[in-house]
Amino acid sequence: VQLQASGGGSVQAGASLTLACAASGFTFSRYAMAWFRLVPGGTERKFVASISSSGVTTYADSVKGRFTISRDNAKKVVSLLMDSLKPEDTASYYCAASAWYTGESMIEYNFWGQGTLVTVSS
């Protein structure tokens, strides 16, 4: 199993950025996918967004209306479009996969990718 995240970078506040996570080694279309983030100096990854196998999306309040999660089952990719970025969005972003769960608890996710760093300057 592999989850390969990409698309991080350094941007100014108000800019947009799209993260992508390429999956392999499991039946992608049957899994829920999610993004979490870990802020600098933080100790716990926080839930950002998830998308079920049927396409139902869930967002953290802090990103609702600004971030959009989507998936392409043919390409086995889950994406996170981040608009109107704020300095407080600065974090390492991680993608994760779950056989059924789409909530905020990290322990319910089966597979994790490495982080991709997003830095938003004011």
Please tell me the predicted confidence (pLDDT) of residue 18: 98
pLDDT of amino acid 47: 98
DSSP the chain: -EEEEE--EEEETT--EEEEEEEESS-GGGSEEEEEEE-TT-SS-EEEEEE-TT--EEE-TTTTTTEEEEEETTTTEEEEEE-S--GGG-EEEEEEEESS--SS-GGG--EE---EEEEEE-
pLDDT at 35: 98
CB–CB of 5/116 below 8 Å? yes
The CA-based dihedral angle spanning residues 21, 80, 17, 8, taken in that order and rounded to the nearest 10 degrees:
-30
Q: What is the pLDDT of residue 11?
A: 98
pLDDT at residue number 116: 97
pLDDT number for residue 64: 98
Quote the pLDDT of residue 108: 93
The rounded average pLDDT for each run of 10 residues, N- to C-terminus, in the chain (122 residues) is 97 98 97 97 96 97 98 98 98 97 93 96 96
**pLDDT 10s digits, 31-40:** 999 999 999 9
Q: How far apart are CA 5 and CA 69, in angstroms?
A: 14
pLDDT for res 71: 98
